[in-house]
Amino acid sequence: MDRLHDALISIRRILRASDIHAKRLGKLAGLKTSQLLVLQSLEDSGEMTVGEIAAKVNLAQASTTALVDKLQSMGLVHRARGHADKRKVYVRLTEAAHGVLARAPMALHDRFSEKFSNLEDWEQSFLVAALQRVSTMMDAGDIDVAPLLDHEVIVEKNGDTSK
């Protein structure tokens, strides 16, 4: 029972860390994790179409469109027709977005990614296998989710909403 207790506490700590980070991100930057991910993608790549953003952040295009709509209403992104191809609409950051990004804390998944990439190959494989097993044990192995360490409600690629 001690190992079960330790395992459940570790899972709860992961969930709690996600919750704490989401609240901190909301307080410091006024953003949700998925919104931060879209802004960071635009910062890294410059202007992109909604479809390109969706592919980069691994979210459904409908979810990404809703995120971009919200970010536009917040004054953080701007949409403009392409110069060469007027059929394409590009999304780009506003000056206000650069200020928000400067004060936003590092995303939890970015912190995890940085530490994960520093592990030895065998450690990464072991960790992925263990997490996949835990996911399956919790009947969550077939749930399609974005690679975000946050539990906000978003529409995933399969059209379902999940937490």
The residues facing 56 across adjacent strands are none
Residue carrying the six token digits 């940085």: 114
Domain boundaries, the chain: 2-162
pLDDT in tens, 7-18: 999 999 988 988
32: helix, coil or strand?
Answer: coil
Residue 85 dihedral angles phi and psi, to the nearest 5°: -125, 100
Nearest to 37 by CA among 15, 67, 12, 78: 67
Question: pLDDT tens-digit profile of 102-157?
Answer: 988 887 888 898 999 999 999 999 999 999 999 999 998 887 776 666 655 444 44
Rounded to an integer, what distance in angstroms lies between the CA atom of residue 75 and that of residue 131?
Answer: 38
Could you tell me the pTM of the whole model? 0.74
3-class DSSP assignment, residue 92: strand
Name the architecture of domain 2-162. Orthogonal Bundle (1.10)
> What tokens appear for 38 in the block?
């879209």
pLDDT at 158 > cutoff 80: no
Q: pLDDT band at 58, cuts 50/70/90?
A: confident
